[in-house]
Structure 1
Amino acid sequence: MAWNQPGNGNNNDRDPWKNQGGRDQGPPDLDEAVRNLMRKLGFGGSGKKGNNNSGGSSGGFSMKGVGIIAVLLVVVWFIAGFYTVKEAERGVVLRFGNFNTLVESGLHWRPIFIDTVETVDVSNVRQFQSEGFMLTQDENVVHVELDVQYRIINPRDYLYAVENADSSLAQATDSALRYVVGHTTMDEVLTVGRENVRADTLELLENIIAPYQLGIQIVDINLLPARPPEAVKDAFDDAIAAQEDEQRFIREAEAYAREREPTARGQVRRILQEAQAYREEQILKAQGEVARFNELLPQYQAAPGVTRERLYLETLEEIYANTAKVMVDVEGSNNMMYLPLDKILENQRRSSTTQQTPAERDASRSLGTSTDSSSRTNTTSSSGRTSDRSGGRG
């Protein structure tokens, strides 16, 4: 049964806040508890009035208590000195406000209240954008945007060489970009000259920030597509489209040239080889003529008349063998009759072909071939007889 339950007799005897003597003490006194703890640590006196013999010091600090407090403070000071530098960071240690050293990533210790540490991210690439309306060399206004990527390579210079390295880099970038755009025409900024603008801006920016020792390295810059003012945007779009067509036509022409060039080179080589073969042929032919002349020379010297007549007949035979025309020299007459056998045979073949069936045409075509052969033979024979007559006449 609970101590304060009604009907439990005398409840005052079960009150936990009363001591055995029956005197009501109330809740625990916190001040008394603190004093008791301080006495246990050796601070102050024994807590009794008029007692001046507790540890040789009344109401003051004991040497033991001071020592404990000092040890606790040293332990807390030592533990608080540990700190961690992340993998992507480097720590800059300042001793009494002056630069002391750089620390790598990992667990380190510093004497607190003496050294302070500032960490800087040196691994990740940072970026910002510089943009605005800028005046070109030909006095046109264009909106240019430049994306800059950089990283920190020297934490000390980044923190203390200038007041704000990031702001200084942004101002230097804006200055370099405006200078390059101011020395470039608007057409180049909008079209074919964008890469030159990017390269010139990067070079100029690096030269500008070098004396300031910002501790920053420019990784890359990217010139975003520039835009003309809205009032003339349509006209510039047409100009850009025309320039793109020009570049496309140039590439197509270059592709056609690359396609045709090997063929032309092959034809050149073939012509050179044919010329070389013709040269060799003519040389060999000339050498053969020389050899033939050397063989005929002794015969001509032995019998000039006979040799001359034989050469004349051989030449006529060679000439008349390649023609279908027939020359008939009638004996006893000064007139020479010309028979165009080739035309006669051609007209005869054409008339017979129009009146014959396809099978007859094929037969007549083969017959005509044999007729041409026989006529050529007869022509040669007639030429020989004519030559003989003319030779005899001579």
Structure 2
Amino acid sequence: MAWNEPGGNSNNQDPWGGRRGGDRKGPPDLDEAFRKLQDSLNGLFGSGKKRGGSGGDDGGSGRSGGFGLIGISLAVLAAVWLYSAVYVVDEQEQAVVLRFGKYHETVGPGLNIYFPPIDRRFQENVTRERAYSKQGQMLTEDENIVEVPLTVQYKISNLKDFVLNVDQPEISLQHATESALRHVVGSTEMDQVLTEGRELMASEIKERLQRFLDTYGTGITVTQVNVQSAAAPREVQEAFDDVIRAREDEQRAKNQAEAYANAVVPEARGQAQRIIEDAHGYRDEVVARAEGEANRFGMLLTEYHKAPEITRQRLYLENMQDVLSSTSKVLMAGKEGQSNLLYLPLDKMIDNRGASPAPAAPAGSAAATGSDLGSRVATDLQQRNSRSRESR
């Protein structure tokens, strides 16, 4: 019976042994307080009769109080179980539920419930990219030791395989990464590892690593493999630096040579083309001149057949005119039986004609004879030249 019910406390006392409205007279009775709290809970959960009355009522009230505690315990356990059984899966997550240790279902985003302890739940983010780094000394194909650091980016593509197929899939990923890296570096020369071969190595490592993970059934997908700058061991780093500088100098010399070739080769090609064009022009000129000479010779041959003597004489005179017009000296032989050779300086004789006349030489002298003869030859040649021009 509650302390505040009518007739339940004739002494008008509170549950702790004090009188209402007055001072307490001593410490509270814990047994009495616990009994009163039990009675209150029994009344809350609808237990049997109130305290007071016969002894049989007290016994029934005790049993009802025991049942009330069991109900409270069950309610608390049910609340705790319900709190742990209800879970929320985010948009980026998935959950795998095992029932009696066997795969039951894969749960997507939303509010879900499972039944522990017969069910087990594994919940992971399947969209977030994770990263794993690895670095170590390895032997290249040409038996050189290099340190190769790399980073592997991956994500969970199949949560069921990730949970069930492999005990520790991320540990398996690390072992597979080391195996793939050593295989690729061991089949590559040191120069390629240290310089421009890193991208090709990263592609080969990614392909081989993904093949290992698919064989194991880890449910992991490799999204990117980045091979960072490899380096030689510290003991030989200076020698490797010298090699790298020499390689850079080689590349710079190649670039300068290519630039020079790009400047010289087009100019040389232009000169060669100009020479070819000049040769073609000269060829066309010679061929045209030859054809013209051949045509003229054909026409001349026709005229020769018509009048051989006249044509022969004409050709002789024209040739002599061409020869004598291009020279300033003439040698004339004497008459038959004479061994004298007459030399005529035509250029001086022509120039002297416009000057004042020289004193007359005595008749019959050699000078007078030569002068008169030269004048006659010069006059005769001039007349022939004028007639040949008129005939043309």
TM range (shorter): 0.5 to 0.7
Matching of residue 109 in structure 1 with residue 105 in structure 2: no
The letter for the 1-side match of 2:104 is N
Cα drift, residue 75 of structure 1: 8.1
Q: Which residue in 1 is equivalent to 2:226?
A: 222
Q: Which residue in 1 is equivalent to 2:215?
A: 211
Distance 1:299 1:263 in 2: 54
Distance 1:139 1:20 in 2: 99
Cα drift, residue 193 of structure 1: 4.3
Matching of residue 88 in structure 1 with residue 72 in structure 2: no
The letter for the 2-side match of 1:147 is T
Q: Which residue in 2 is equivalent to 1:385?
A: 381
Secondary structure of the residue aligned to 1:46 is coil
Q: Considering only aligned residues, what root-mean-square deviation do their CA atoms show, in Å?
A: 4.6
Secondary structure of the residue aligned to 1:211 is helix
Query: Do the aligned partners of 1:131 and 1:143 also contact (CA within 8 Å) in 2?
Result: yes
Distance 1:340 1:189 in 2: 89
The letter for the 2-side match of 1:208 is F
Query: Do the aligned partners of 2:96 and 2:105 also contact (CA within 8 Å) in 1?
Result: yes
Q: Which residue in 1 is equivalent to 2:352?
A: none
Secondary structure of the residue aligned to 1:234 is helix
Cα drift, residue 235 of structure 1: 2.0
**Cα deviations across residues 27-85 of structure 1 (Å, max 9, x unaligned)?**
6935413422322312354334537689x998348999999999998788667654332
Evaluate the alpha carbon distance shift between residue 17 and residue 67 of structure 1 in structure 2; reply closer, same or farther with a 3 A threshold. closer
Q: Which residue in 1 is equivalent to 2:329?
A: 328
Q: Which residue in 2 is equivalent to 1:231?
A: 235
**Cα deviations across residues 286-310 of structure 1 (Å, max 9, x unaligned)?**
4434443443332222123433454
TM-score by length of 2: 0.66
Distance 1:47 1:315 in 2: 169
Query: Do the aligned partners of 2:134 and 2:149 also contact (CA within 8 Å) in 1?
Result: yes
Distance 2:226 2:22 in 1: 91
Moved more, 62-71 or 174-183: 62-71
Q: Find 2:103's aligned residue among 81, 99, 116.
A: 99
**Cα deviations across residues 161-194 of structure 1 (Å, max 9, x unaligned)?**
2111211111112122223333344444334544
**Cα deviations across residues 342-390 of structure 1 (Å, max 9, x unaligned)?**
xxxxxxxxxxxxxxxxxxxxxxxxxxxxxxxxxxxxxxxx8x939969x
The letter for the 1-side match of 2:253 is F
**Cα deviations across residues 136-180 of structure 1 (Å, max 9, x unaligned)?**
344433322222222222222222221112111111121222233
Q: Find 1:171's aligned residue among 170, 175, 189.
A: 175
The letter for the 2-side match of 1:223 is V
Cα drift, residue 230 of structure 1: 2.7
Distance 1:71 1:89 in 2: 32
**Cα deviations across residues 80-136 of structure 1 (Å, max 9, x unaligned)?**
65433233333223333322333333x231233254432222223222222222233
Distance 1:340 1:223 in 2: 95
Distance 2:314 2:320 in 1: 10
The letter for the 1-side match of 2:113 is R
Cα drift, residue 211 of structure 1: 1.0
Q: Find 1:255's aligned residue among 259, 268, 274.
A: 259
Report sequence identity in percent.
Answer: 36
Distance 1:85 1:162 in 2: 23
The letter for the 1-side match of 2:115 is I
Query: Do the aligned partners of 2:51 and 2:61 also contact (CA within 8 Å) in 1?
Result: no
Secondary structure of the residue aligned to 1:326 is coil
Query: Do the aligned partners of 1:176 and 1:201 also contact (CA within 8 Å) in 2?
Result: yes
Distance 2:105 2:272 in 1: 74
Secondary structure of the residue aligned to 2:111 is strand
Query: Do the aligned partners of 1:44 and 1:62 also contact (CA within 8 Å) in 2?
Result: no
Q: Which residue in 2 is equivalent to 1:123?
A: 127
Aligned length: 332
The letter for the 2-side match of 1:112 is F
Q: Find 1:135's aligned residue among 113, 133, 139.
A: 139
Q: Find 2:165's aligned residue among 157, 161, 164.
A: 161
**Cα deviations across residues 205-226 of structure 1 (Å, max 9, x unaligned)?**
3333331122222222222222
**Cα deviations across residues 196-243 of structure 1 (Å, max 9, x unaligned)?**
544443343333333112222222222222222333222222122112
Secondary structure of the residue aligned to 1:84 is strand
Q: Which residue in 1 is equivalent to 2:7?
A: none
Matches within 5 A, 1:1-394: 17-19=18-20, 29-48=33-52, 50=54, 59-60=63-64, 81-105=85-109, 107-113=110-116, 115-191=119-195, 193-311=197-315, 326-331=327-332, 334=341, 385=381
Distance 2:22 2:50 in 1: 25
Long gaps (5+) in structure 1: 1-12, 342-381, 390-394
| Larger-gyration structure (1/2) | 2
**Cα deviations across residues 283-342 of structure 1 (Å, max 9, x unaligned)?**
444443444344333222212343345456656767788xxx73321555646668999x
Evaluate the alpha carbon distance shift between residue 240 and residue 295 of structure 1 in structure 2; reply closer, same or farther with a 3 A threshold. same
Distance 1:22 1:332 in 2: 182
Evaluate the alpha carbon distance shift between residue 213 and residue 283 of structure 1 in structure 2; reply closer, same or farther with a 3 A threshold. farther
TM-score by length of 1: 0.65
